[in-house]
Chains A and B, each alone.
Chain A
Amino acid sequence: MNGTTKPYGVLAEFTTPADIMHAAEKIRDAGFSRWDVFTPFPVHGMDRAMGMKNSKVGWFSFIGGVTGYTTGMLMIWFLNAVNYPIVIGGKPMFSPFSAFPPSYELTILFGAFGALGGMLFLNRLPRLHHPLHKNRRFLQVTHDKYFLVIECDDPKYSEKETVKLLQAAGSKHIEMVEE
């Protein structure tokens, strides 16, 4: 092994979603914390298998939506009733009904930005350089293979034991990934 490159983690390949889900359960039960599962599509039940909590994206979206609605209402109220009021056909200066459509649209717009932005933020994306992208076999993750990666930084990581654990979980191909 080249002494200058640090190992990033151990990569275990699986061929079916059921296999990787059981493996994930084992790794979760073994108490690892710096590990992840990589699949070509979201596998149902994997979040529970990994012991993950609910995603926080909803909060970002909610804040975005509330901001959008209040922005819309306040903006229309301020612009049409306070800053430059003009008599238009005897209509009221501000009415929550006529101000509703633009505010509603802004709710959705800001909520959507919150959802997408929140997702990218929580995922720490874009991240164009990742040690796993350099691994040739890992390119198959978008095709039809499933991978489980345990990082060397994990406190429970041990060179021999972890590999044995993954083999017991059913992986047929295990290799080290360089940083």
Chain B
Amino acid sequence: MEGRPIIREANLEQFREHPGFAKKMDAEKPPVNQSLYPNPFDKLKEKAHQQWGMSVDLNACVGCSSCMMACQSENNIPIVGKDLVKRGREMHWIRIDRYYAGAPAKKKFLDTFDDESKQQFAQWIDDPQVVTQPMMCQMCEAAPCESVCPVNATSHSEEGLNLMTYNRCVGTRYCSNNCPYKVRRFNFLDFNKRSLKELKGPFYPDVVLHKTEGKWDILTWLKAPFEPESGGMRASDEWDLIKMSKNPDVTVRMRGVMEKCTFCIQRIEGAKIAQKAKAGASGDVVVPSDSFTTACAQACPAGAIVFGNISDPNSRVSQLKKQERDYSLLDFLLTKPRLTYLARVRNPNPAMPDYNQSPLTLQEFEKQSGEANPFEGEGAAHEPAAEKGVL
């Protein structure tokens, strides 16, 4: 992680001594100035009955990727094929980030800048520790993606969600550039209309030379560029089968449109509608806390992902966010994310040969970040700024 406090972890003794270590690893934030203008979101919030938030417990996450599978099925996420995944076009709204921490003492200055493909052969990364982190849209209250969209395709709802309006998106991709978490996915090609063979077709710099199973790609494509199966659109019965697998509650996005995690807004709206129907004339439209959840939270076998109403202090997610291990990612950018993480606590067996007194990511953080050691002294150099809206 290049010494950045992205995943914060500590060994059990360290945690016991300094339970608030996670927040102390915050980078120095710019001062929160008084704005000349009222924040329109503050006024908008008053209209809503609940505010959505999520907490991800890094301690529980084992990196099984069930959340990815659930999200993919729930939200009609297209499959792009191995070649395009290698070219960075995968469409997963939630992904499991894996960081490998090697011994910082062995790492030299230039190792930091190595091309990723070379890192697997580097000496300093031998015997790494792995940390996993589910990453999906952080639902920032001060979302950097919203202010750069030229067509109002992404906006903020009164319940605190960052909304993505597919039918308005023109596809300038500025929102993805501005997202510091890079959770936005762009439909570069007709993933939902073209077969995988077509997607692998003449789109590469080595198109002239690329071969599949011994046959030149370009010849295959030239033989029938617009035919289904070999080049063009999917065969119609294949399309029918695919259509049956889609979730009818969720839009299927066309090419050229940006998409991202929505906190399963179809489930949220479904719950709100059901509650309104149940409430009838009584006006009790607040969805009971923890009565429904997102697909990723539902699928997680370890219960690492918890979704809920943060304006209800008794909901599970509110309780989790009150913990001392709670921190938000890239807090220094003042994005005020609704999704926060709970720092990881390791409990390694001192008798094991790979025992480290301090997790390797923490060692790297202390060595590379130049920030104050979170375990030294009580009043650490940085006080977490009390921001409105982040619980």
Whether A and B touch (Cβ < 8 Å) is answered with: yes
- Which chain A residues border B143 with CB–CB below 8 Å? 89-90
CB of A82 to closest CB in B, whole Å: 13
Q: Does A1 contact B (CB under 8 A)?
A: no
Q: Which stretch of A35-43, A91-99, A104-112, A164-172 is in the interface?
A: A91-99
Query: Which among A85, A86, A87, A88 has the greatest number of chain B C-beta atoms within 10 A?
Result: A87
A86–B37 Cα distance when bound, in Å, is 15
Given contacts A87-B155, A92-B39, A93-B40, 19 further A-B contacts (CB under 8 A): A85-B40, A87-B40, A87-B41, A87-B44, A87-B156, A88-B146, A88-B149, A89-B140, A89-B143, A89-B145, A89-B147, A90-B40, A90-B142, A90-B156, A91-B146, A92-B35, A92-B37, A92-B38, A92-B40
Greatest chain B CB density within 10 A among A85, A86, A88, A90 is at: A90
State the Cβ distance, A52 to closest chain B Cβ, in Å.
48
C-alpha spacing A85/B37, complex, angstroms: 15
Give A contacts to B, CB under 8 Å. 85-93, 95
Q: What's the minimum C-beta distance from B45 to chain A, rounded to whole angstroms?
A: 9
Q: Whole-angstrom distance from the CB of B183 to the nearest CB of chain A?
A: 15
- A95's nearest neighbour on chain B, judged by CB, is B37
Interface size class of B (residues with CB under 8 A): 20 to 34
Number of interchain pairs (Cβ within 8 Å): 42
| B positions within 8 Å CB-CB of A | 35-41, 44, 140-147, 149, 152, 155-156, 158
Q: From DSSP, what is the main secondary structure of chain A's interface residues?
A: loop
Q: Give Cα A22–Cα B281 distance, bound, in whole angstroms.
A: 96
Closest residue on chain A to residue B40 by CB atoms: A87
- Cβ contact of B142, chosen from A85, A86, A89, cutoff 8 A: A89
11 contacts between A and B (CB under 8 A): A86-B152, A87-B156, A88-B146, A89-B142, A89-B144, A90-B141, A90-B143, A91-B147, A92-B36, A92-B40, A95-B37
- Nearest CB on B from A59, distance (A): 35
The complex places the Cα of A91 from the Cα of B42 at a distance, in Å, of 11
Minimum Cβ distance to chain B for residue A163 (Å): 68
B146 CB contacts on chain A under 8 angstroms: 88-89, 91
The answer to whether A90 and B41 touch across the interface, beta carbons within 8 angstroms, is yes
A90 to chain B, nearest CB (A): 5
Bound-state CA distance A91–B158 (Å) is 14
Interface pair A88/B37, CB less than 8 Å apart = no
Closest chain-A Cβ to B333's Cβ sits at a distance in Å of 12
> A residues within 8 A CB of B37?
92, 95
Complex interface: chain B residues within 8 A of A88 (CB): 146-147, 149, 152, 155-156
Choose from B44, B156, B158 the contact partner of A89 (Cβ within 8 Å): B156
Task: List 7 A-B pairs, minimum CB-CB distance, nearest first.
Answer: A92-B37, A89-B146, A87-B156, A89-B147, A86-B155, A88-B146, A90-B41
A88 to B44, CA, bound (A): 11
